Amino acid sequence: MPNLSKPFGGEPPPTIPLANPPLARVLAQVRFSTVLSVAEEAYVAPFQKSLVKHFPRSDPQMQLVISGPEAPSASTLTRVWRFTSDDEKWSTSLGTQFVALETTAYHTQEEFFSVLRLVMDAVREHIQPTYVERVGIRYIQRLDQLEDLHQLGSYFIPEVLGISRWVDAADAPIFTMAQAHFVDGATHLAARWGIIPPKFTIDVSALPPVDALTWILDLDTFDEARSPLDTQDLQARLYDYSRRQYQFFRWAIRPAFLLRFGADPELVTQLEESER
């Protein structure tokens, strides 16, 4: 199957469903104008109640917020409310300046955006921030099986693979990290990928370390345009950003990756023929 001609811009390709996508975490976040009342339990209670069927567990935390370049002297601690599902694979976090939805059990785009809509409706009804300051969605893929690391040359195009192609050599690097940042109008895509050693991570909050050499592909698509809080607009923007990151993903991979993680072989063949 030929790869897409460019990683960003233009029309994203159709989705090829994967039965077992190697997604370590998917995270959507909306940052908004400060609502100090979120630090108060009584204020947040209606928000929690509206989502309790999906997130019955509550885990309030304290988070360090950096308010200026002179930090840490200007940093402050603020309360962040974290609500999780019974199996702890889904969670939503609410702070005075943001709301986030994340999962380590991503199956379909439809499922994720269905839950996201519930969260954003609860923010609109119960938190009511004046405006939105940043909207983003992030997909982190991780390969941690040695047999997959030995197949990186079959999974990814040379432009992405770089020096990681020697992962199965005796003197191969144990750490490589490439980064790229694309801009299309107000939309940004920040991508980073490479090999990280065992018990190491590039982002402890989003990607806990594991006891194995791993390959990661971390894609974050976002904008920082100030706008009123409109749940339909936010849903549409995040869906569009999800599609844009998928374009980078499809540009970066080879058919062997799709087949390895559960794509329908007939669908892959059809797409291969249609893109010739």
- Which range is least confidently modeled, 7-11, 120-124, 191-195? 7-11
pLDDT digit string, tens, across residues 151-187: 999 999 999 998 877 666 567 788 999 999 999 999 9
**What's the DSSP call for residue 253?**
B
Helix (H, G, I), strand (E, B) or coil at 167: coil
pLDDT digit string, tens, across residues 134-159: 999 999 999 999 899 999 999 999 99
| Cis peptide bond prior to 12, omega within 30° of 0 | no
Q: Outline where DSSP puts E strands in 126-253.
A: 131-143, 176-184, 187-196, 214-223, 227-228
pLDDT digit string, tens, across residues 6-37: 898 888 888 999 999 999 999 999 999 999 99
The rounded distance, in Å, linking the Cα atoms of 246 and 203 is 21
Q: Is 179 exposed, middle or buried (0-12, 13-18, 19+ CB in 10 A)?
A: exposed
Q: Which two tokens stand for residue 158?
A: 């040379």
Predicted local confidence at residue 118, as pLDDT: 97
Q: Give the helix/strand (H/E) hosting 42.
A: helix 41-51
The most distant pair of C-alpha atoms in the chain lies apart, rounded to whole Å, by: 59
Q: Which two tokens stand for residue 12?
A: 């994203």
Tell me the pairing of strands 187-196 and 98-103: unpaired
